[in-house]
Amino acid sequence: MKMIGLIGGMSWESSVEYYRIINEEVKSRLGGLHSAKCLMYSVDFAKIERCQSEGNWPRAGEILASAALSLEKAGADFIVICTNTMHKVVDAIQEKIMIPILHIADATAAQIKKSGISTVGLLGTKYTMEQDFYKSRLEANGINVIVPNDHEREMVNNIIYNELCLGKVLDSSRTDYKKVINSLMENGADGMILGCTEIGLLIKQEDSKVPLFDTASIHAIAAVNKALKQ
């Protein structure tokens, strides 16, 4: 079993889910008292969020690259960045380490292609929904991506940062998200990417008439696949 290096804390609410899913999956596959070999470097999200809001992505990349290097030195065989948005700086992180990074968009694209769906709606932070670093990775895999309108994007983003990242899961926000999902469906989406690792805390499959692709779960299971691959 390979050692998984997790960069978490963005937010820790979803990092907990990564740890849980990875260990449950290893136990399910190997049985008995088996659990995952993993290391987690949990960063201070306030510093990362400040970099995001100020547009200081190079500094954010430096912080996460330092975390990745620490995990590599501690014995990690590959890196899992437990957030969608910070894959914006994945190249800056990769150039500082020798071990590979398991990209969340690649894992998600593989799962979407396996389902046979070609057009998906994307929910996430405003950075993930509006910038190309994430969408282009999906589109390179032949997946058409639809995002919410300006007002909806702002609402989706605010719920992530002001509620989900703080552990607040509100029924009113679930209702708002369901409206956005229905709007994306009306615009042609046959599936929905929960493109922020906290959204799965709020939205479940029963909240959507089309398949959901929970990136936190997909990424965590892809990490187990890689860790157990001979």
**Which residues are known to be catalytic?**
83, 196
Give the residue among 122, 54, 104 at the shortest CA–CA distance from 221. Answer: 104
Residues 141/120, Cβ–Cβ less than 8 Å = no
CA gap 122, 164 in Å, rounded: 17
Burial label for 73, CB within 10 Å (0-12, 13-18, 19+), is: exposed
How far apart, in whole angstroms, are the C-alpha atoms of residue 94 and residue 98? 7
- Sheet containing strand 191-194, strands side by side: 144-146, 119-123, 191-194, 212-214
- Please name the amino acid found at residue 101: I
Residues whose CB falls within 8 Å of the CB of residue 45, separated by 6 or more in sequence, listed in order: 9, 10, 11, 12, 165
Rg (CA), the chain: 17
